[in-house]
Amino acid sequence: MQSSTIKHLAIIMDGNGRWAKERGLKRTKGHEVGAEAIRDITTYCAAHKTIETATFYAFSTENWKRPKLEVEFLMKLLDRYLKKELKTYQEHNIRFQAIGNIGAFSKALQLRIRDTEYLTRNNKSLTQILALNYGGRAEITSAVNQLIQEGKTKVTEDDISESLQTPYSDIDILIRTSGEERISNFLLWQLSYAEFYFTQTLWPDFTAKELDTILASFTQRHRRFGGL
Ligand code: FPP
């Protein structure tokens, strides 16, 4: 693979709460502006042509530990986002897919997610994946259990890769905003050879211009995939 090819970009969006706090606003406002940043970065990726898939960590399995009101707000925001941005998906030819255990969400939200996937299934310029109630260990465990159910007694790396929920599994670039430098149980299998970029920018302030700088820097990195 050419080092400048970006099949899969992954982003850990962090810093919504701090962004709001710095402005004396409620944390929920940070999430709202964060949702707008998802839309802007997604449409930029769709226009970029060399990016095939962009995966955003929108709700982790650990996020249930947040105050009930904040969790409820995030669920409503997701529903509003998918409803409002259907137009964006269609206009920019973006396919939407979800990964994670969405069975834990309300029936109405599950329906919204499945409907959006269905309505955008033929779009070709970019696949946007939202990781929702997602955990990397859970994804790997479920892949292995599926293989056991299929009767396998020995599995290969390819077997696991093919049984994961995430399509186009290998990540080229992982970005995490807000100065934190952790993986937080995101795409553990798929990040094996990813290049990592950590930025101090809080997610609601993250722009296409900064992404462009990261993409330009990625093309300069020499990826050896364990070789010389
Ligand atoms: C982290 O900020 C952010 C998340 C909980 C995940 C990303 C969520 C959004 C961008 C909200 C909108 C999502 C959709 C799909 C509509 P934080 O609250 O952990 O920030 P902090 O570390 O500064 O408190």
pLDDT recorded at residue 1: 39
Of 14, 16, 123, 172, the catalytic one is: 14
Pocket of ligand 1 (CB under 6 A): 13-18, 31, 34-35, 38, 58, 63, 77-78, 81, 130, 203
Specify the ligand 1 atom closest to the Cα of 38. 10
Q: In Å, how far are 40, 53, 94, 215 from 219, measured between CA atoms? A: 22, 17, 24, 7
What is the token pair recorded at 107? 């029936």
pLDDT category at 222 given cuts 50, 70, 90 is low
Give nearest CA residue, ligand 1 atom 8. 58
Over the chain, what is the mean pLDDT?
A: 95
Name the residue with the closest Cα to ligand 1, atom 10. Answer: 34
Q: Write the pLDDT tens digit of every residue in 87-143.
A: 999 999 999 999 999 999 999 999 999 999 999 999 999 999 999 999 999 999 999
Name 222's Cβ contacts closer than 8 Å, sequence gap at least 6: 3
Residue located nearest, by CA, to atom 1 of ligand 1: 14
Kindly report the pTM of this predicted structure: 0.95
User: Given this model, what pLDDT does residue 98 score?
Assistant: 98
Catalytic entry in 40, 63, 159, 170: 63
Residue 49 has pLDDT above 90, yes or no: no
Task: Confirm whether 14 is a catalytic residue.
Answer: yes
Q: Helix, strand, coil: what percent of the chain each, to 5?
A: 50, 20, 35
Whether the predicted pLDDT of 3 surpasses 70:
no
**pLDDT for residue 226 is more than 80:** no
Q: How far is the CA of 16 from the centre of ligand 1 (A)?
A: 5
* pLDDT band (50, 70, 90) for residue 190: very high
In 3D space, the residue among 168, 169, 171, 201 whose CA is nearest the CA of residue 183 turns out to be 171
DSSP track, 50-63: SEEEEEEEEEEGGG
Lowest mean pLDDT segment, chosen from 23-27, 111-115, 169-173, 175-179: 169-173
Query: In the annotation, is 63 catalytic?
Result: yes
Helices (H), 60-175: 68-91, 107-119, 136-149, 157-163
Which of 11, 13, 184 has most ligand 1 atoms within 8 Å of its beta carbon, as the pocket-test mutant? 13
Lowest mean pLDDT, pick from 55-69, 87-101, 209-223: 209-223
CA distance 190 to 183: 12
Given this model, what pLDDT does residue 223 score?
67
